[in-house]
Amino acid sequence: MTLEDFEKSLAEDQDRRRERSDKDRRHRDRDGDRDRSKDRSSRHHHRSSHNHRRHSSRSRERDNRRDRESRHRDNDDGHRHKRSRHSTDHGDDHENSHKRRHRHERDEEHSAPKTIIQEEPSALKRDSWMEAPSALDIEYVHRPDPNRVEESTKPKMLQADFELKIHDKELNSHLRDLKDGKALDDVEEEPAQHEVDYTFGDSGSQWRMTKLKGVYREAQESGKSVEEVAVERFGDLRSFDDAREEETELDRRKTYGQSYVGKEKPSGELFQERKLKNVVHRDPHEHTRDPAEELRAEGQGKVMGTEAPSSTTKLLDQTALNRLKAQLMKAKLKGAANAAELEEQYNSAAAAAISNRSESDVVVLGVQQNRMLAGSRNEVKPVDTKRGRERGLMEDNEDMTIEDMVREERKTRGQPGGEGARLAERIAKDGKFENDLEYMDDQASKLAKRVHRSEIDIKSATINDFRKMNRILDNCQLCHHEDTNTPPVAPVVSLATRVYLTLPTEPEISEGGASIVPIQHRTNLLECDDDEWEEIRNFMKSLTRMYHDQGRDVIFYENAAQPQRKRHASMEVVPLPYSLGETSPAFFKEAILSAESEWSQHRKLIDTLAKSKQGLGRNAFRRTLVKEMPYFHVWFELDGGLGHIVEDEHRWPRGDLFAREVIGGMLDVAPDVIKRQGRWNRGGDPRVDGFKKRWRKFDWTRAGYDQIDIDACSARNPPLLVSNVPTAVDDATADVNMFLILGALRNFNAGMHSLREGKWRGRPALGHDPQGKTLGILGMGGIGRNLKKKAEAFGMKVIYHNRRQLSEELSGGAQYVTFDELLSTSDVLSLNLPLNNNTRHIIGKPEFAKMKDGVVVVNTARGAVMDEAALVDALDSGKVFSAGLDVFEEEPKIHPGLIGNQNVLLVPHMGTWTIETLIAMEEWAMENVKLAITTGKLKSPVPEQVDLQ
């Protein structure tokens, strides 16, 4: 299908599609409502709504809890899951980093009440004053038992779930009463120092710092106290103080340089300080604190009234609970004064243990849910059809057990620096993500908690992920929706194999711009593979030429600052007046430097242009930035520009505003235009025709065998076979090639030109002999090999580069070298390769830079294998001594820089312009026709169709 047909079908289908999409939307909304009311327990997040704020989501969470709970009671099978109160309400990424071990008492499982067991983190470190032996000989703190570590490391997720249940026949009915809301507000002290599984300044650091900043900002804006906000956002003040410690540490590192490392982990000093300060303001109602603790630590640490009570409940495992009970009995027997308090302590601990259960998850997994899973954990298998690959479709993988998934999840937990990245990932997975700080802080803790919850949460996170991705794909304006055979909403003005060109949404910041878009839904351009990049570059080159033709400069940018939105990646193409093109780097540099907060850990500016010139060439962008990080990048030239890692995407201007503001500022665009960021409307974009007209002669996608669309021919059923006439022209073309080599080396053109001007020889520079010079042949096909023989007759040494190294016999002893070697060692470079998507502009600015000074360049292949403008520059700078050209990028138009340069030997595409060759070509063509009719096969099919024969 040609581009035009494609457009036509687009226009025809548009109304029908609009109608259908409306219907779909209504349908989906209904589904969503039904889902919300019916199936809560299987999911934690519903369809996105911008009205979800903290309260609504919390109350829904409560609902979910109740829902689950009731189901849990009804359900006496093995599919029980727990979710501890601790991890639920207290969980932010710090708290989750506690490696809380779930212990399983095998012998109790079948006999005794299945009481909640939640052990203290065994890695927990306490200050020495807390570890000191008690004067009362009472173990009020459960000490980690080293023997237990081994046991608890076994994957026992399912068993752990049983532990949180109360048996139906539980005799101690008061336990259940306690659980049902009568649990004491058991507030007990948090040890100031505790184990966290991150280190200061690791990759999660920026998230924690963002959160911290958010606390200060909200406190300032809302007038609430910092502590109040901190508890809301961090769940408790200790985590908040840990973050403050980290902030101080990072500040110090900044001041003293990267080599300075004061501390790696929070020492708890700030929290300790806070405890001391708060002695005075202790809440009088706080009656459940540990009396023994107070006796010993008089005047030291006091319990903080500001902490969220539920989050600080210490959960003891069965053994610890039993031990506590034993102490209580002892105390009672002895008639000790603290017996009453011990009893209270025991009761609250028991209650806390029970209260775990009130939040446990019970969700029975069906095939239905299994089917909805997607992700990298093998829960599901990718659907390996073309459409499946493109849309990331999955099918159920029955082999992946829940335990497998949990194990998989755990593998990544606790890895150095992993916490922040995973937090980011979990946020990215959230179906109702909203791009604001409040949302993030609210959700971050909730999402982070999932790691600690039962395995169902992992599943629902994955379900959310899958649903979100599906929703994004369904609504993507840049995707071709294959299921409905719907082209993108955005107009397709030029379609290559993997990448297409569209127009930016209106209002455009600079009239006549374009967007380069990968056909596959990539979330940033770094995800694109080599083939896609090849096409992106081709579009960049051809667009640059088009805008130059219009007397304009051009810059390209990609805004990938909001990865969690998973938007379809695109490169924006913005034409600028030449005068502004030169100053645009300065504009962007300034804007980036002032864009982000002062605690940035990355270098703010990544100069990919410099890197491209320092040898990274066309790979500068792809090798310098990382796709995992949010970034912004602007290209001032084909191979590079300025990049920036976006540290705090919430401070980064929303949507595309950053680039629009910078460019709008340069162009003096009205602020209301800058701020409006539109969407595409299906069909009828009045800009398309004009753009296509201007673009047509630069449209590289139309190239191929004399403008034949091979793919379209191949796609037809039966395929339309295409042949060319490959070898008949070898001799004639190689002859012209040799002529051009000699003429360019000897600088004949200048002399011949002077002669006709009546100036006899003029003052041509002295030429060079071919003898002893190295001829580099790029493309060792029929013509290249023919040329080799001819050049050797003139005493030249021949080296070559080809897609594949030729056999010794074929190459005739010519030395095979790499592309770069060919560029750097050839005295004369001859282009003899076919033109296709991969070879277009294979010789451009960076390639010229790698060549020897004073090199001679000859082209008899196709004009567009070389960037003509770059050749002109190289000739002007003296890098290239002379050139001999039989072909041109836009025949019959010739670049004025070539016409005006007397050192260049130009021939108007006469490579095959001989009687003998034309006869040979005609005969060959007739032969092809004859064979096609008699045998159905062609004598010389084009390489793309070799397999079709």
Q: Which of 19, 273, 808, 891 is catalytic?
A: 891
Of residues 238 and 391, the one with the C-beta less far from Zn ion: 391
Which residues from 528-547 bind Zn ion, rule CB under 5 A? none
Contact 555, 640 (CB under 8 A): no
User: Beta 880-885 vs 904-906: how paired, if at all?
Assistant: parallel
- Count interface residues toward Zn ion (CB under 5 A): 5
Give, in order, the Cα–Cα distances in Å from 740 to each of 621, 790, 897.
Answer: 37, 13, 18
Helices and strands, number each (H, E), in the chain: 39, 17
Instruction: Give least dist CB 908 to Zn ion, A.
Output: 45
Of residues 269 and 390, the one with the C-beta less far from Zn ion: 390
Which residues from 814-853 bind Zn ion, rule CB under 5 A? none
Q: Which residues does 320 contact at the CB level (< 8 Å), separation at least 6?
A: 119, 120, 142, 349
Q: Which of 126, 174, 176, 909 is catalytic?
A: 909
Of residues 100 and 567, the one with the C-beta less far from Zn ion: 567
Q: Which residues does 279 contact at the CB level (< 8 Å), separation at least 6?
A: 299, 302
Instruction: Give least dist CB 737 to Zn ion, A.
Output: 46
Instruction: Give least dist CB 478 to Zn ion, A.
Output: 5
Residue found under tokens 């090999």: 785
Q: Which range, of 70-78, 121-129, 521-529, 840-848, touches Zn ion by CB under 5 A?
A: 521-529
Contact 551, 578 (CB under 8 A): yes
Q: How many other C-beta atoms are found inside a 10 Å radius of the C-beta of residue 415? A: 13
* Crossing angle for the helix pair 782-793 and 730-746, to the nearest 10 degrees: 50
Query: Could you tell me which residues are beta bridge partners of residue 748?
Result: none
Of residues 103 and 521, the one with the C-beta less far from Zn ion: 521
Instruction: Give least dist CB 386 to Zn ion, A.
Output: 16
Q: Which range, of 21-29, 541-549, 560-568, 832-840, touches Zn ion by CB under 5 A?
A: 560-568
Instruction: Give least dist CB 493 to Zn ion, A.
Output: 17
CA 7/CA 11 separation, integer angstroms? 6
Of residues 571 and 823, the one with the C-beta less far from Zn ion: 571
Give, in order, the Cα–Cα distances in Å from 554 to each of 546, 557, 582, 605.
Answer: 10, 10, 10, 21
* Crossing angle for the helix pair 402-412 and 455-475, to the nearest 10 degrees: 80
Of residues 391 and 768, the one with the C-beta less far from Zn ion: 391
Tell me the three state secondary structure of residue 127: coil
* Beta strands in 496-597, from DSSP E residues, in sequence order: 499-502, 514-518, 552-560, 571-577
Of residues 156 and 568, the one with the C-beta less far from Zn ion: 568
Of residues 283 and 390, the one with the C-beta less far from Zn ion: 390
Q: Which range, of 224-232, 472-480, 616-624, 665-673, touches Zn ion by CB under 5 A?
A: 472-480
Q: What angle do CA 892, 898, 900 make, to 5 degrees?
A: 110
State yes or no: residue 476 binds Zn ion (CB under 5 A): yes
**129 sits in which H/E element:** helix 128-131
Please identify which residue in 244, 521, 773, 841 interacts with Zn ion, judged by CB under 5 A: 521
Q: Tokens for 563, please give them.
A: 């990865």
Give, in order, the Cα–Cα distances in Å from 234 to each of 247, 269, 821.
Answer: 15, 18, 58
Instruction: Give least dist CB 6 to Zn ion, A.
Output: 17
Q: Tokens for 522, please give them.
A: 């990539």
State yes or no: residue 478 binds Zn ion (CB under 5 A): yes
* Known catalytic membership, residue 98: no
CA 775/CA 788 separation, integer angstroms? 8
Instruction: Give least dist CB 375 to Zn ion, A.
Output: 19
Instruction: Give least dist CB 27 to Zn ion, A.
Output: 21
Instruction: Give least dist CB 502 to Zn ion, A.
Output: 12
Contact 462, 428 (CB under 8 A): no
Q: Which range, of 117-125, 442-450, 471-479, 589-597, touches Zn ion by CB under 5 A?
A: 471-479
Binding mask 337-376 for Zn ion (x = CB under 5 A): ----------------------------------------
* Known catalytic membership, residue 909: yes
Contact 279, 305 (CB under 8 A): no
Q: Which range, of 29-37, 133-141, 385-393, 477-485, touches Zn ion by CB under 5 A?
A: 477-485
Of residues 226 and 476, the one with the C-beta less far from Zn ion: 476
CA 387/CA 196 separation, integer angstroms? 44
Instruction: Give least dist CB 479 to Zn ion, A.
Output: 3
CA 273/CA 250 separation, integer angstroms? 20
- DSSP one-letter string for 10-30: HHHHHHHHHHHHHHHHHHHHH
Backbone angles phi, psi at 649, to 5 degrees: -65, -15
Q: Which range, of 266-274, 562-570, 846-854, 857-865, touches Zn ion by CB under 5 A?
A: 562-570
Q: Which range, of 86-94, 341-349, 565-573, 644-652, touches Zn ion by CB under 5 A?
A: 565-573
As to burial, measured by CB atoms within 10 angstroms (0-12 exposed, 13-18 middle, 19+ buried), residue 866 is buried
Of residues 25 and 761, the one with the C-beta less far from Zn ion: 25
Instruction: Give least dist CB 556 to Zn ion, A.
Output: 19
Q: Tokens for 384, please give them.
A: 């390996």
Q: Which of 98, 142, 862, 895 is catalytic?
A: 862
Q: Which range, of 446-454, 473-481, 530-538, 543-551, touches Zn ion by CB under 5 A?
A: 473-481
* Known catalytic membership, residue 55: no
Q: Which residues does 491 contact at the CB level (< 8 Å), separation at least 6?
A: 7, 10, 502, 503, 680, 683, 685, 687, 688
Instruction: Give least dist CB 500 to Zn ion, A.
Output: 12
Contact 260, 252 (CB under 8 A): yes
Binding mask 424-463 for Zn ion (x = CB under 5 A): ----------------------------------------
Residue found under tokens 């069906």: 366
CA 41/CA 44 separation, integer angstroms? 7
Contact 786, 734 (CB under 8 A): yes
Which residues from 630-659 bind Zn ion, rule CB under 5 A? none
Q: How many other C-beta atoms are found inside a 10 Å radius of the C-beta of residue 285? A: 9
Backbone angles phi, psi at 866, to 5 degrees: -125, 140
CA 852/CA 368 separation, integer angstroms? 65
Of residues 86 and 521, the one with the C-beta less far from Zn ion: 521
Instruction: Give least dist CB 392 to Zn ion, A.
Output: 11
State yes or no: residue 568 binds Zn ion (CB under 5 A): yes
Q: Which range, of 259-267, 381-389, 470-478, 721-729, touches Zn ion by CB under 5 A?
A: 470-478
CA 845/CA 93 separation, integer angstroms? 49
Indicate which residues carry an active-site annotation. Answer: 862, 891, 909
**Which residues of this chain interact with Zn ion, rule CB under 5 A?**
476, 478-479, 521, 568
